Structure 1
Amino acid sequence: MNYKMAVKLVLSECSSALDKINEDEVNNFMNMLLEADQVFFVGVGRVKLELEAFAKRLAHLGIKVHIVGDINEPAMTSKDVLVIGSGSGESLIPVAIAKKAKQIGGKIIHIGSNSKSSLAPITDLMVRIPVQTKLYLSDEIVSKQPMSSLFEQSLFLFGDVVAVMIIDKKNIELKKLWNYHANLE
């Protein structure tokens, strides 16, 4: 496969995945982020990297965000939201942290593909990106990319889509976002 064919494949799969996300789930997700005092993110591997990028963008929008496990992570309260990124919903660390967050009284949001995962009973909202995971569920979008690349790519793009929606909803002037950008670089 040449470069142009690979680009078409990846972009086509990402477009299909994002088109399948339920818009009501997205709107509920956005509202929960905006209503929370703080938003915590947890994921592992490449998913964690995508969530870190999303958290950084939300910080640019003035939302208090934290990555679980960071040295400066504060205490979670019942006024906060935990966002879990896990395609399968079975990753051990995110599931354990979600259970702890639920005990604290926080809201739990799962962004993933498996709506019947171990997270389902404690999740306040699931945003389903119905793409192929390690579980190979019958209703997932099949990908020709390795492993869970399509989920990770879709998660990254989903974060930027939600950021654009928040910018529009809050009528944020794009130039003013630079006030939140790192300035020690």
Structure 2
Amino acid sequence: MTTLTEIPALTRSILHELERTVKSIPVEEIERLVGQIAETGARAGRIFVAGAGRSGLMLRAFAMRLMHAGFHAYVVGEAVTPGLQAGDLLIIGSGSGETGSLVHMAAKAKKLGASVALATVRPDSTIGQMADTVIAVPAAAKERNDGSATTTIQPMGSLFEQSLLLLLDTVVLCCMDRLGIDSAAMFGRHANLE
């Protein structure tokens, strides 16, 4: 059983894993995604996000920040999400890059003429092969029998999911900088019926 004195050490271990992982994400891949988002927004195109499970929750948080920044951002599967069209951008978060429903979405998006971006542990995955932009997140895979050299004390895909949130928040900051958006402007788009 974990004692209260062990909790700070566990937290430090998690933070160390996150720092190691996020520092290893290729900067040029992040810049490519920022460029795609900025270009899509400049054309008044729409940005759709998708992910399953906990990865999906990270993408939902990302869509909210994109909306705050003034982009037309939608979460796939919500009742108010419109249909995807040519020129739109679909951003997928998937550790494996093999989740069946997400593979289907990526294929359909490509068929409709949309761009696809993927953040994943496995850039050579099925979705990775379809994507226009792939961001390799060197986190441990959910299934630990993949021969991954990445180690973590955390269960399943926790390291990927946490790294995904930090990566996507970094993308938002880069978009804000590129487009001259400040926090005050974003706050003006914050929900106000609560």
The TM-score bracket by the shorter chain reads over 0.9
Aligned equivalents of 2:143, 2:90: Cα separation in 1 = 24
How do 1:140-159 residues align onto structure 2 when only pairs under 5 Å count?
140-159=149-168
How do 1:33-112 residues align onto structure 2 when only pairs under 5 Å count?
33-36=37-40, 37-112=45-120
Q: Is the partner of 1:119 in helix, strand or coil?
A: helix
Q: Is the partner of 2:86 in helix, strand or coil?
A: coil
1:7 to 8, 11, 18: 11
Q: Deviation above 3 Å: which 4+ runs of structure 1?
A: 135-140
Aligned equivalents of 2:57, 2:128: Cα separation in 1 = 23
Aligned equivalents of 2:18, 2:187: Cα separation in 1 = 28
| Aligned residue pair count | 185
1:161 to 170, 188, 191: 170
Compare 120-129 and 17-26 and name the one that shifted more. Answer: 120-129
Q: Aligned-pair distance for 1:34?
A: 1.3
TM-score by length of 1: 0.95
Aligned equivalents of 1:173, 1:117: Cα separation in 2 = 36
Aligned equivalents of 1:140, 1:57: Cα separation in 2 = 33
Aligned equivalents of 1:120, 1:54: Cα separation in 2 = 20
Structure 1 residues not aligned, in runs of 5+: none
Letter in 1 for 2:157: S
Aligned equivalents of 2:63, 2:90: Cα separation in 1 = 12
Partner of 2:187: 178
Query: In 2 relative to 1, CA 140–74 (structure 1 residues): closer, same or farther, beyond 3 Å?
Result: farther
Q: Does the CA contact (< 8 Å) of 1:40 and 1:68 recur in 2?
A: yes
Deviation sequence 1:74-125 (CA, Å, 0-9, x none): 1111111111110010111111111111110110111101012111331111
Structure 2 residues not aligned, in runs of 5+: none
Aligned equivalents of 2:89, 2:175: Cα separation in 1 = 17
2:22 to 18, 24, 35: 18
Letter in 2 for 1:158: L
Larger-gyration structure (1/2)? 2
